[in-house]
């Protein structure tokens, strides 16, 4: 029975076993399918991972590019800021330049006005000279110009513009614009500036008048302690320069010298008589301060020591505490006793006459030698060797030597006045 039971159970076991195998096959197939799906998913995941890596790489590249762009942007912004600063600076400079240009334009307009006024003065002077040399009155003050204009015209008072130097400062040549005019600019020295107040006050009284034989002051400049006086330019320089034949210039003819003497006498007579209630004294009359224009007309210049006195007659004098001037031309009474009279400048004029005759250096020795030469009738030996006077000119020379010694008389009362000298010197 057990055998029958076993035999009966075998087919059942085989069927179960077969069923299990079928299930196992199915499971294996499912597992294979799952593995295949898993492999596919792994491949997809690997592809996704690769894509992710590529995205990360691209993102890193973009980040780097963005960082570079940001740096470039920062640099551009910095450049833009610098450009903005430069533009602001240029705008400020342009505004400053416009303001300076406007100021310069105003100065130029003022200068043009002043120069036109000065040229009008010269025009009146020239008309007066052509009409007989009468003096003129000017109610308007001497125009003031900017010091910067004069500095520019002389290249900041450069040495190559220097004409000469005297006790009161240096004189420079220049050409002022609008309209162009040649001028001489005197820049006062520090020593003379100490006396500028008195000098200016006295010069203002003289500046109201013009005379053909007095140098014309065109304008002046005054700024920050610097003072400049602008005069008409005298192309032939000083009488002293011409007597010395400076720069190989030809010697003055006797006719020119005689006219110079007459011109100076007329100018000095005007100085002493121009003001109705005052007498003016030059006190530094010398050949260095007598200038010659293009036609060798003489004009007295350098009124830095000019003094004034009220109602002074032939017997009166003015005493000064400060004797200044050039010793070789000083009247003995002026030098020794500090007394100024209307004949003080006549003494200096006498020395100028001797210089015109001899071309010698001025001083007491020249006066003494000429007196001796006149007494011994040998004054011809003292004449300038460049002079070769005709017989008529020789007579004129003799007369001027006589006048010179009269002007150099130690006794001021014995000296002629400038009015008397004009009568004798005028042709």
Known binding-site residue numbers: 187
Active site residue 426: no
Say how far apart CA 220 and CA 249 lie, in whole Å: 31
**CA nearest neighbour of 219 among 127, 313, 136, 121:** 121
Q: Whole-angstrom Cα distance, residue 174 to residue 267?
A: 26
DSSP codes, 31-56? HHHHHHHHHHHHHHHHHHHHHHHHHH
Catalytic residue from among 63, 226, 248, 284: 284
DSSP for 242-297? HHTTGGGPPPPPHHHHHHHHHHHHHHHHHHHHSSTT-EEE-S--SGGGEEE-TT--
CB contact at 8 A, 240 and 274: no
**How far, rounded to the nearest angstrom, does the alpha carbon of residue 243 sit from its chain's CA centroid?**
32
Helix 254-273 and helix 418-425: axis angle, to 10°?
150
**Stretch (H or E) spanning 396:** helix 391-407
Rounded distance, CA 358 to CA 386, Å? 9
Q: Give the contacts of 270 (CB within 8 A, at least 6 positions apart).
A: 135, 209, 211, 213, 214
- For residue 318, the cross-strand partners are 340
- Residues with Cβ within 8 Å of 279's Cβ and at least 6 positions away in sequence, in order, are 272, 273, 308, 309, 310, 311, 312, 342
Q: Which residues are the active-site residues?
A: 284
């Amino acid at each position: 029975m057990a055998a029958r039971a076993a035999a009966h159970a075998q087919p059942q076991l085989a069927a179960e076993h077969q069923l299990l195998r079928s299930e196992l096959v199915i499971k294996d197939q499912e597992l294979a399918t799952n593995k295949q799906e898993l492999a596919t998913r792994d491949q997809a995941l690997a592809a996704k991972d690769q894509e992710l890596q590529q995205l990360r790489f691209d993102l890193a590249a973009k980040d780097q590019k963005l960082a570079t762009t940001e740096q470039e942007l920062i640099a551009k912004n910095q450049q833009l800021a610098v450009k903005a600063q430069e533009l602001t600076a240029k705008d400020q400079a342009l505004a400053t330049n416009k303001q300076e240009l406007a100021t310069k334009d105003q100065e130029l307009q003022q200068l043009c006005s002043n120069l036109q006024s000065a040229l009008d003065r010269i025009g009146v002077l020239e008309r007066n000279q052509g009409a007989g040399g009468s003096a003129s009155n000017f109610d308007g003050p001497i125009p003031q110009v900017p010091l910067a204009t004069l500095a520019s015209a002389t290249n900041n008072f450069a040495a190559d513009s220097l004409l000469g130097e005297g006790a009161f400062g240096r004189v420079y040549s220049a050409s002022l614009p609008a309209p162009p005019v040649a001028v001489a600019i005197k820049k006062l020295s520090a020593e003379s500036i100490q006396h500028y107040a008195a000098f200016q006050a006295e010069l203002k009284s003289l500046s109201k008048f013009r005379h053909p034989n007095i140098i014309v002051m065109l304008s002046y400049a005054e700024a920050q302690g610097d003072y400049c006086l602008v005069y008409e330019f005298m192309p032939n320089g000083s009488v002293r320069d011409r007597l010395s034949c400076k720069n190989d210039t030809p010697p003055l003819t006797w006719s020119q010298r005689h006219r110079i003497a007459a011109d100076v006498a007329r100018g000095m007579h005007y100085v002493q008589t121009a003001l109705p209630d005052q007498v003016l004294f030059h006190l530094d009359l010398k050949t260095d301060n007598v200038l010659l224009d293009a036609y060798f007309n003489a004009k007295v210049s350098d009124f830095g020591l000019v003094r004034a006195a009220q109602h002074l007659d032939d017997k009166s004098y003015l005493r000064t505490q400060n004797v200044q001037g050039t010793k070789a031309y000083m009247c003995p009474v002026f030098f020794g006793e500090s007394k100024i009279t209307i004949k003080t400048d006549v003494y200096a004029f006498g020395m100028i006459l001797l210089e015109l005759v001899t071309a010698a250096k001025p001083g007491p020795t020249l006066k003494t030698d000429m007196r001796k030469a006149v007494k011994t009738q040998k004054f011809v030996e003292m004449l300038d060797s460049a002079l070769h006077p005709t017989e008529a000119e020789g007579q004129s020379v003799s007369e001027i030597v006589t006048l010179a010694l009269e002007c150099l008389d130690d006794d001021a009362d014995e000296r002629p006045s400038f009015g008397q000298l004009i009568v004798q010197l005028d042709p």
